[in-house]
């Protein structure tokens, strides 16, 4: 990879730019709008949003008003937790597209495998959702379909009824939280791993070992995190609403972390906490 627009190839041949711009907690309205406009100006061509973030309207407006042809931007959204099951998924997708003001999505993900609303019947709810995803995919309304926060048992369950396998699993991957078991399984399944919270939602900036690593390479802690992610073959999703950070987070293609330092960073176990257990979430 040499720039933010270089791509991974999904199992269906679709190209996906290797860095995605995160928008969770980028408030709907001027903040999310300007963050996405700034990201597009800085060169990002991959934007990650979700119905649950409440900012699809601003993200869509920023894309529409950017002047960049729609097909040059890769856009992801996610199905909200209360909307699992075939009928609800179909309605939720329509709402997402109305909010965005666009006519297709590049990637649609099931945000969580086991929301509180479906704890008793998550298997059936996910199967219905996936049927809807497959239909929307076949109709050309979504270019790729995937999952988020799924662990091995959730994926195995989904595959029992799926006709099309998920192409992406978006999970929390950051220094000290490497989720080795699910990563290994997704790789066996030829599923691309997207790395969310690549900075541990900002907590990584306080970790002394990471500050030392940044000094050693003459880079920022953020740049070290993103480089670590890419060298692991993940697709990182950095979020920022600050123009200088948005731009500096793209400057990660002019250095390489040594094998030894990759190991040191991976081994900072728990330095910014761990991913939620998706079977225990309260939302």
Ligand X SMILES: NC(=O)c1ccc[n+]([C@@H]2O[C@H](COP(=O)([O-])OP(=O)(O)OC[C@H]3O[C@@H](n4cnc5c(N)ncnc54)[C@H](OP(=O)(O)O)[C@@H]3O)[C@@H](O)[C@H]2O)c1
Shortest separation between residue 75's beta carbon and ligand X, angstroms: 12
Token pair, residue 219, equals 């880079």
Quote the tokens at residue 146: 């995937």
Which two three-digit tokens encode residue 37? 């406009």
Output the residue with the shortest Cβ distance to ligand X.
Answer: 22
17 interacts with ligand X by CB under 6 A: no
Distance of CA 258 to the CA centre of its chain: 26
Q: Which of 33, 44, 53, 137 is catalytic?
A: 53
Query: Should residue 22 be labelled a site residue for ligand X when binding is judged by CB under 6 A?
Result: yes
Nearer to ligand X, 110 or 132 (CB): 110
User: Given the complex with ligand X, which of 30 and 260 has the nearer CB atom?
Assistant: 30
**Residues 27-86 close enough to bind ligand X by CB under 6 A:** 48
- Angle of the 30-42 helix axis to the 56-65 helix axis, nearest 10: 40
**117 near ligand X, rule: CB under 6 A:** no
Question: Can you read off the two tokens belonging to residue 25?
Answer: 């907690």
Rounded to an integer, what distance in angstroms lies between the CA atom of residue 250 and that of residue 190?
A: 26
Instruction: Determine the 3-state secondary structure of 93 from DSSP.
Output: helix
Is residue 278 close enough to count as binding ligand X by CB under 6 A? no
Q: At what angle do helices 122-138 and 86-100 cross, to 10 degrees?
A: 50
Site track for ligand X across 170-209, x = CB under 6 A: x-------------------------xxxxxxx--x----
Site residues for ligand X per CB under 6 A: 22-25, 48, 111, 148-149, 170, 196-202, 205, 220, 222, 237-242, 245, 248-249
């Amino acid at each position: 990879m040499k720039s933010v627009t270089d791509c991974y190839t999904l199992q269906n041949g679709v190209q996906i730019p290797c860095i995605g711009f995160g928008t969770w907690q980028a408030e709907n309205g001027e903040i999310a709008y300007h963050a996405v406009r700034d990201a597009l100006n800085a060169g990002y061509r991959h934007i990650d949003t979700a119905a649950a973030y409440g900012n699809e309207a601003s993200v869509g407006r920023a894309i529409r008003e950017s002047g960049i042809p729609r097909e040059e931007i890769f856009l992801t959204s996610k199905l909200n937790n209360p909307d699992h099951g075939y009928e609800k998924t179909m309605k939720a997708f329509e709402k997402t597209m109305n909010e965005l003001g666009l006519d297709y999505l590049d990637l649609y993900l099931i945000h969580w495998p086991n929301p509180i609303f479906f704890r008793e019947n998550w298997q059936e709810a996910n199967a219905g959702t996936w049927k809807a995803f497959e239909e929307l995919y076949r109709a050309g309304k979504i270019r790729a379909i995937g999952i988020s926060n799924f662990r091995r048992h959730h994926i195995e369950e989904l595959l029992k009824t799926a006709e099309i396998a998920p192409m992406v699993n978006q999970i929390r991957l950051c220094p000290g939280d490497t989720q080795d078991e699910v990563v290994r399984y997704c790789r066996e399944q030829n599923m691309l791993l997207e790395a969310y919270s690549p900075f541990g939602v900002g907590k990584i900036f306080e970790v002394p070992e990471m500050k030392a690593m940044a000094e050693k390479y003459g880079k920022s802690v953020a740049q070290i995190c993103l480089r670590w992610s890419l060298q692991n073959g993940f697709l990182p999703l950095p979020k920022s609403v600050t123009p200088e950070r948005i731009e500096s987070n793209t400057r990660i293609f002019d250095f390489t972390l040594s094998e030894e330092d990759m190991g040191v960073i991976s081994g900072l176990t728990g330095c910014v906490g761990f991913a939620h257990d998706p079977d225990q979430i309260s939302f």
